[in-house]
Amino acid sequence: MQGLGELETAVMEVLWRDPGPQRVRDVLDVLNTERDLAYTTVMTVLDNLHRKGWVSRERDGRAYRYVATRSREDAVANALRELLDSTKDPESVLLRFARSVSPRESEVLRRALDDTAADQ
């Protein structure tokens, strides 16, 4: 994910899979099925994500409960937008991308463009 490190992305994936408020321990338990992380590591990552605006948090006793502030789809779309903005030839990139999509994806793009044109 653009602007996020590997561990930040893994934490966001946990929050996106279960959109309810989650404690550090909840996130750690999911992540530790694949790796061996310390509680303080996950707490620091969630604090950084909060500072970056990726998650909100609410006090629950002495701990916080965290929730993603943007959907996975919004995050991916924003990353694509940033990539297009960072290239000198966005039209060429869009054309190459358009040629790589499946027929179903192409139809989704056509409908979205038609809806956008109808709104203008």
Question: The pTM is what?
Answer: 0.79
Contact 50, 66 (CB under 8 A): yes
The pLDDT value recorded for residue 42 is 97
Query: Tokens 């006090």 correspond to what residue?
Result: 59
Q: Looking at domain 6-68, does it have CATH number 3.40.190.10?
A: no
Give me the pLDDT at residue 104, please.
95
pLDDT given for residue 65 in this prediction? 98
Q: What are the residue boundaries of the structural domains of the chain, listed by start? A: 6-68
* Model pLDDT, residue 62: 92
pLDDT 10s per residue in the chain (120 long)? 667 899 999 999 999 999 899 999 999 999 999 889 999 999 999 999 999 999 999 999 999 999 999 999 998 898 889 889 999 999 999 999 999 999 999 999 999 988 888 887
Q: Calculate ∠ Cα 60-65-67, nearest 5°.
A: 145
Rounded-to-5 percentages of helix, strand, coil across the chain: 65, 10, 25
